[in-house]
Amino acid sequence: MSEPSVLQALIAGPDGASESAAILDLIRGADTADLNRMLADLHGPSLFTKLDPGRRAELTHLLGRQRLDELEASPLAHVVHGLQSSRRTALRDEVLVEIVVSRRGTDLVRLKNLINTAEDHQDLEDLVWVDLHESDRRRVLAHIERESAGLSIGDPKVLSDIDDTVFCKLHDRRWPRGLIYPGALALLDALDLGPTDEPFDLGDLTFVTARPADAWGLVENLSRTALRRAGVSRLSVLSGSLRALVSKEAMAFRKLENIDHYRRLFPEYQLVFIGDSGQGDVIVAETLVRTNPEATRLVMIHDVVESSQEVRDRHAAAGIVFFDTYVGAAAEAYERGLISARGLGQVAKESVGGFERTRWDSVQQRDRMRGWFERDLARVENLLADAGS
């Protein structure tokens, strides 16, 4: 049996002192290649929670210090997730900081990206802004800022709202309630792949929601589960709070606070923001283009309340694009050099398929949306024809 299989069997097997000792011996005795293979596909929390507190401290020291320089990015991210799931101790906190500051340049960027696409709420934002004490947080953020100097990643990070942006949930009466907007996931995928379909990293998608966070991450994990069921495999979530639900302004303030935290975690990236016109996202959009114009590549608002042309024109003059369908949003992203022609075509294809599969509330509802779809599809056809010429 290979070392990875042995480790998995020990983790899945009975608890006990001999099993814990065997896990430590296996990790301690593995060469660099086997160590990385063992940890590459491992669920980090399962490894750390398998051990009693004393042996967990041994494992923390072994992986987070003694063998730290041997670990590749993906296995190291699993170690971080395992430590995040462990009971808080001085050693745990020290090692988490040491792991992050041990990586530099693009190696640090890749590690941050992998930590940020955790399966649960324990992502990079949770690590830095929740897990760490203030002094440790300052040290990590200072290291991130130093390493980002002169470093620019071509693919932007995509920040997207959820309700009425991905799922028809609250204010949108143009579509049947509860559906995933046709083309929404295809556009997010195209943005993740970028204009060449060869991105620096996958998983550049973060959902920014007004849904309140909680101490156990239950609400955030429910959001992740729903999005993964919808087809989004690599993502992170920035949650809101109960107090932020009292008004559009409060929701916008909470989202902007989260985005500011996010910018400090990923200063080497520019941002694309996608929201809707039903809640506080327009305020978020206005603030982003006013206060962070260099860092903001594109801001798009899904117009679920059918704003007047005067409102749309005023926001367009400020750099905020309102759109009716994800076909139109994809055309805008393509013209800004953010997605490829292949990605544009895929959004159009999936949008048409989703439109035809929709169970409409009425014929009038369907025909109204069809007009917007046909207008935006004609725009895409012209763009693709020019790309092929």
For the segment 246-295, what is each residue's pLDDT rounded down to a tens digit?
A: 467 777 888 888 899 999 999 999 999 999 998 789 999 999 999 989 99
| pLDDT for the residue 152 | 86
Question: 285-294 contacts: CB < 8 A, separation 24 or more?
Answer: 285/315, 285/320, 286/315, 286/318, 286/320, 287/252, 287/256, 288/256, 288/259, 289/318, 289/319, 289/320, 290/318, 292/263, 293/319, 294/270
Contact assessment for residue 296 and residue 156, using Cβ atoms and an 8 Å cutoff: no
| pLDDT for the residue 236 | 67
Chain-wide mean pLDDT for the chain? 88
**Does 124 lie in the same domain as 79?**
yes
pLDDT digits (tens, 9 = 90+) for 71-120: 999 999 999 999 999 999 999 999 999 999 999 999 999 999 999 887 76
| pLDDT for the residue 204 | 77
- In this prediction, residues 63-70 reach a mean pLDDT of 97
Task: Among 99, 118, 148, identify where a domain stops.
Answer: 148
What CATH number did the domain enclosing 248 receive? 3.40.50
Task: Among 114, 148, 182, identify where a domain stops.
Answer: 148
Q: Which domain holds residue 166?
A: 157-388
Total domains in the chain come to 2
**Does 24 lie in the same domain as 61?**
yes
| pLDDT for the residue 13 | 86
Task: Among 93, 122, 148, identify where a domain stops.
Answer: 148
pLDDT digits (tens, 9 = 90+) for 336-375: 999 999 999 999 999 999 999 999 999 999 999 999 999 9
**Does 184 lie in the same domain as 310?**
yes
Which helix (H) or strand (E) segment holds residue 135: the answer is helix 134-148
DSSP string over 368-381: HHHHHHHHHHHHHH
**Does 143 lie in the same domain as 266?**
no
| pLDDT for the residue 212 | 52
